[in-house]
Amino acid sequence: CVVIGDFWRVVCVVIEGISSVHLVQQHYQHEFLPVLKDRYKVIPISGDAGEERFFFANFVKENDVVICTAQILQNALIHQSEEKHVEMTDFTLLIIDECHHTHKNGVYNKLMEEYLIKKLRGERNLPQILGLTASPGTGRATSMEKAVEHIMQVCANLDTWRIMSHNEQSNGPAAVTKQPEKQYDLVSERAQDPFGDELKMLMLRIHEFLGDPDFPFSEFGTQTYEQKIVEMEKEGVVESNRKKRTCALHLRKYNDALFIHDTVRMIDAFRHLDRFYSEEKITRPLTDESERFLLWMYDGERDRLQDLANDARYENPKLSKLEDILRDLFQSSSDSRGIIFTRTRQSTHDLHDWIQGNAGLQAIGIKTAPLTGAGQSNQTKPMTQNEQLEVIERFRKGHLNLLLSTSVAEEGMDIPQCNIVVRYGLMTNETSMIQARGRARHEESRYSFLAQTGSKEMRREITNETLEGLMKQAIKRVQNMPEREYLQQIKELQKESIIERQVKNQRKDDLKGLFNPDDVILHCKGCNTAVARGSDIRVVENSQYVNVNANFKVYYKVSATSIVFEKKMDGWSPGRSVRCHCGQNWGFEMIYKNATLPIVSIKNFAIQTPESRVSGKKWKSVPFAVEDFNYSQYCQENLLDLSDDDD
């Protein structure tokens, strides 16, 4: 709850994280607008891709509360043109959501570094900072001392005057929130596992085929094995060893099947493998000896595998445990709501499928849907943001009462209260544990951790519980520090990080002064032809590097059509792609006002200085200075000024 007095200028709420774009809308609709709309102008600026981000500075002038992603604010703070620039001092209050991300090289820390420099310089009228988090994390600390250090560092980064926590304001609304009851729902390993054993036998046969008959059986189905297989596949590529590469690929599918077998039903594991082989049959040439062997072996065992997968006696014990938990809850109360967190997108779908087919669970009115991320993935189709919102809306309205989710819903999605949260066979860390539990906010709610007894997941959960305790104590310690000592230490840490940054910047400047740009030659990475000098390069608005030498044209060819970006760019648009005559990709054209300039990506070039030759990585770290692009100068030199020159 934020009280906005008449003395406020603009309040800026910044948000970061995987689904931040999403969250901006959510915060706007559900939290800020209902409370503030009668008296204040509130605006969400969410599109990291939409055009509205170019007008951020105007929105700041015309509104009282701005809700945006951290990146949009950061871009406006460093923008050089006056009409797009905003100052820290344009705001009176900066609310930083999930502020435990204010660490290391994250965008929150970039915002705060600027702020701290200004503050230590004695600048007045800086905004007040309000950071919000359910858990500041311990930065992997394993001792009290380190945990305190970590929290002090986050406090220094955020210029924290005081940490306030729930239990302090014992009559505030937050104090009413009850911690959900946590329970460990543990199951033992299957006593007999003929389906898993069969998969492992087949894997061993592949190792025999590869000439390694003594491979340890016990490694199959582990993460260590997965890493070995990935290595093996790489070796196969490097050595052009087709047999090795093909077998590694197949072994990986079997290992995936073992993971699935460990998480959901045997039939899900079987289907995964079977889909793979059906596709292989269609797409692979059967002239390859290894392919032929692997297909033949699978075909010979397929029916047996399928029979074993359908034998209910050996089904995954986690599922019957989950069934008990769900029955217990949904039978007693028809308006229960729950979330099950699981690791992969595929397993959200498999669990959904299992519940759909379970007559008992259907009878007590459980209605589920998967909720997964929007990013790309090979396994299953990503959900669009609209699809995510739709699922959440149906859940809110009660058309659904159980979400099956990957970690997307742990943090940063506005999901209604639940009275059961199950972390289903999930590796944890202390932040995600607290975040997930935060979803169970109903009276009498329950937080269940379901895993196999003695498993890695369970050990991790327990250690992290210890860490959570450590963190709480560490926060207490920081809160109880005498004020003078606390402020003194914060100031020291702030000074240190600013000095650290200056040293870093100095190093960058030193690097830039190393060579005269005229003495640096860029060679195409593909054919080694010398094609440009450092002095031909200009940087446009601090981000795009172009070659302004008119003669550069002779070295490259362009594609027939322009490339298309999903996101609109500010003040320019992409043109055709640019390639060396040898075929090496270099970059693409930038159409900037009336000029067309080739953007060159330095990683496609080798940099020859008078002293050495290195391969290019990032423009920001080249050993010479790059001048800013000057449009009017460019037009004069190329006689462009008033004529539309499309060439």
Binding-site ranges for ligand NAG (CB under 6 A): 140, 378, 407, 410, 429-432, 460, 463-464, 467, 593-594, 630, 632-633, 636, 642-644
Q: Which does 410 bind (CB under 5 to 8 A by kind): Zn ion, ligand NAG, none?
A: ligand NAG
Residue 59 DSSP class = H
Binding mask 531-570 for Zn ion (x = CB under 5 A): ----------------------------------------
CA pair distance 481, 257, nearest whole angstrom: 53
> Minimal distance in Å, beta carbon 550 to Zn ion?
20
Q: Which does 332 bind (CB under 5 to 8 A by kind): Zn ion, ligand NAG, none?
A: none
User: Nearer to ligand NAG by C-beta: 19 or 46?
Assistant: 19
Terminal-residue alpha carbon distance, the chain = 57
User: Nearer to ligand NAG by C-beta: 140 or 567?
Assistant: 140
Are residues 127 and 46 in contact, defined by beta-carbon separation less than 8 angstroms? Answer: no
Q: Is 584 in the site for Zn ion (CB under 5 A)?
A: yes
User: Nearer to Zn ion by C-beta: 35 or 582?
Assistant: 582
Are residues 36 and 42 in contact, defined by beta-carbon separation less than 8 angstroms? Answer: yes
> Minimal distance in Å, beta carbon 232 to ligand NAG?
14
408 in helix, strand or coil? helix
Q: ∠ CA 425-429-430 to the nearest 5 degrees?
A: 125
> Minimal distance in Å, beta carbon 430 to ligand NAG?
6
CA pair distance 391, 385, nearest whole angstrom: 10
Are residues 530 and 521 in contact, defined by beta-carbon separation less than 8 angstroms? Answer: yes
User: Nearer to Zn ion by C-beta: 477 or 576?
Assistant: 576
> Minimal distance in Å, beta carbon 613 to ligand NAG?
30
User: Nearer to ligand NAG by C-beta: 336 or 344?
Assistant: 344
The window from 305-313, 454-462, 564-572, 582-590 that contacts Zn ion (CB under 5 A) reads 582-590
> Minimal distance in Å, beta carbon 324 to ligand NAG?
26
Query: Where are the strands (E) in 342-419, listed by range?
Result: 368-371, 402-405
CA pair distance 196, 535, nearest whole angstrom: 64
CA pair distance 28, 30, nearest whole angstrom: 6
CA pair distance 434, 287, nearest whole angstrom: 54
Paired tokens of 271: 């289907």
In the bound complex, which residue of the shown chain has the CB atom lying closest to ligand NAG? 429
User: Nearer to ligand NAG by C-beta: 480 or 632?
Assistant: 632
User: Nearer to ligand NAG by C-beta: 422 or 467?
Assistant: 467
CA pair distance 261, 316, nearest whole angstrom: 7
Q: Which does 589 bind (CB under 5 to 8 A by kind): Zn ion, ligand NAG, none?
A: none
Q: Which does 526 bind (CB under 5 to 8 A by kind): Zn ion, ligand NAG, none?
A: Zn ion
Q: Which does 582 bind (CB under 5 to 8 A by kind): Zn ion, ligand NAG, none?
A: Zn ion
The window from 12-20, 30-38, 281-289, 518-526 that contacts Zn ion (CB under 5 A) reads 518-526
Which residues contact residue 203 at a Cβ distance below 8 angstroms, ignoring those fewer than 6 apart? 220, 251, 254, 255
Q: How far is CA 528 from CA 144, 397, 554, in A?
A: 55, 63, 16
Q: What b/e string do you get for 618-639 counting C-beta neighbours within 10 Å, with b at 16 or more?
A: ebeebbbbbeebeeeebbeeee
User: Nearer to ligand NAG by C-beta: 63 or 549?
Assistant: 549
Binding residues for Zn ion (CB under 5 A): 524, 526-527, 580, 582, 584
